[in-house]
Amino acid sequence: MTMMTGAEIVIRCLQEEKVEYVFGYPGGAVLHIYDALFKQDQVKHILVRHEQAAVHAADGLARSSNKVGVALVTSGPGATNAVTGIATAYMDSIPIVVISGQVPNDYIGQDAFQECDTVGITRPCVKHNFLVNDVHKLALTLKKAFYIANSGRPGPVVVDIPKDVTAAKCKFEYPETIQMRSYNPVVKGHLGQIRKAVHLLLEAKRPMIYSGGGVILANGAEQLTRLTRRLGFPITNTLMGLGAYPATDRQFLGMPGMHGTVEANLAMQHCDVLLAIGARFDDRVIGNPDNFASIPRKIIHVDIDPSSISKRVKVDVPIVGNVPDVLDEMLRLLDGGNAAPDAEALAAWWQEIEGWRAKQCMKYTRKKNVIMPQYVMEKLYEVTAGKAIVTSDVGQHQMWAAQYYKFDEPRRWINSGGLGTMGVGLPYAMGAALQHPEMPVVCVTGEGSIQMCIQELSTAKQFRLPIKIINLNNRYLGMVRQWQEMFYGSRYSESYMDSLPDFVKLAEAYGHVGIRVERPEEVEPALRKAFTDYKDDLVFIDFITDQKANVFPMVAAGKGLADMILTEDL
């Protein structure tokens, strides 16, 4: 067997893991790795313009597919710049492996040039991390990293490699599979518990299904859809779970939570049996848990992570297991038995729900001379026929995209739900566009968020990524402004975005197409043009939108889900 350097081993491991793209930025501590990268062409490197974007792009690639995203950064500032990306992936349980260079072993602890304690800094925001101090451990560690990242509840894994390890040589051996005595994620759910759950579901008079990002991560959308249709129950998908159940289906009640629909929130609040699947009762989803739990109901919770169960809300039937496996088992039990849901009770429950739905809580007033942001989202949905991968940044535009773009399939909606990281939209779109060259990829953003990773327009040019950037430009940090209007006496402290660049010229300066849209009647033609004439270009459409539009419905922080503020209340 030939001897390989640590750097060659790193690249070889990526090849073994069938990694197609690595997002990264070179620097002193990773020069050996970049040299090894140069000598092969199987793993393609995407040179970003800032390490944060490397991690977001790897994360976006992972979210849009079922693959582990990979980022490569240097020591010190390279690693610290990556931290926001890592924490973002951690909060949404996204499988990525981040390889960071480290100063040579001898230099560690000496305050060497570009040294930082990467393992220490990232520890609270990774699923696991490693410092590889010996080349003999390198291949096995990378194997473990990929395994840990993409099994159980997925998450980011950081592998920190001192420079001397990348130069040292050893034989290369890559294990096919791996066993760890300290890590054995559960797959199958407990059959007795699943039986109990099915029994409860069949007894329910006012059942409700609430599913989250876990269903998408576990590739359980198909099972979820079959189960929901089989039972005829209403369903809601959280911000992270959109697309797990077809949004255009009658049984779908829209998104729950702070900006959820009236019908989803009230059904969550008034149900007698709640089936929660791959969701974690997040504060933005259920509001105040005291109000949520005050109405008596039985909760069934399916999740691969035991620590998600009974964390914020006490659960009656916990089922720890992989979502598709558990749902398959539920379907099998339903098919095997004769019992059916109580049709009469269900009909009455649906009637109640249709009453809530009839409120049309997402209705908004159009203006003749001003573009309403919701209108842009509706038109985007129409023009792309609901078939695009849509990434978003964080703020009002994110909520409007989630509310007005109807996702019928999983892995089409990509956003930072947990950490709420502004700036993710463009790098997410880069990762998705590389992974899905055949699909239209749209980044819905705002003039605040887009400027947090605007430098990536350069990367998108270099790699010819035909992303369509939908900039909902209201000259405000909209969500901050909305809270200030509602809760801070309209004192708009630092939320006005002054001295904005001319985004059309900016896009052109990077070699892209820029379009400014200022009138409602121009919205649709501009979108059509972007997806036809400029199909192969990155198009930056700067929509000058209504400055005072707010996201409704809204449940104020700390309130219960029934406590919704609707448009007409103001």
Partner 1 sequence: MRHIISILLENEAGALSRVAGLFSARAYNIETLTVAPTEDVSLSRLTIVTTGTDAVIEQITKQLNKLIDVIKVVDLSEAAHIERELMLIKVRATGKDREELKRLADIFRGHIIDVTESTYVIELTASGAKLDSFIQAIDAGLILETVRTGVCGIGRGERILKV
Residues that bind partner 1 (CB under 8 A): 119-120, 123-124, 127-128, 131, 148, 180-183, 305-307, 310-311, 314
Shortest reach from residue 33's CB to partner 1, in Å: 22
| Residue 89 or 371 with smaller CB distance to partner 1 | 89
Burial of residue 391 (number of CB atoms within 10 Å: 0-12, 13-18, 19+): buried
| Residue 183 or 356 with smaller CB distance to partner 1 | 183
Strands 513-517 and 96-102, by their bridges, are unpaired
Shortest reach from residue 330's CB to partner 1, in Å: 24
| Residue 10 or 149 with smaller CB distance to partner 1 | 149
**SS3 (DSSP) at 201:** helix
CA distances to 146, 179, 304 from 152, in Å: 12, 14, 6
Residue 453, Cα to own-chain centre: how many angstroms? 17
Contact assessment for residue 410 and residue 243, using Cβ atoms and an 8 Å cutoff: yes
**SS3 (DSSP) at 117:** coil
Dihedral sign (CA 218, 221, 223, 227) = positive
| Residue 288 or 391 with smaller CB distance to partner 1 | 288
Token representation of residue 224:
């979820």
Shortest reach from residue 500's CB to partner 1, in Å: 38
Shortest reach from residue 46's CB to partner 1, in Å: 29
End-to-end C-alpha distance for the chain, whole angstroms: 74
Shortest reach from residue 310's CB to partner 1, in Å: 7
Shortest reach from residue 118's CB to partner 1, in Å: 12
Torsion of CA 128, 212, 65, 189, to 10 degrees: 70
Side by side, the strands of the sheet bearing 156-162 are: 44-47, 21-24, 69-73, 96-102, 156-162, 128-131
Task: Just list the catalytic residues.
Answer: 51, 113-114, 163, 479
Torsion of CA 453, 458, 459, 463, to 10 degrees: 150
Closest C-alpha among 87, 18, 52, 58 to residue 414: 58
H helix intervals, 287-372: 289-294, 323-336, 343-357
| Residue 175 or 306 with smaller CB distance to partner 1 | 306
| Residue 94 or 414 with smaller CB distance to partner 1 | 94
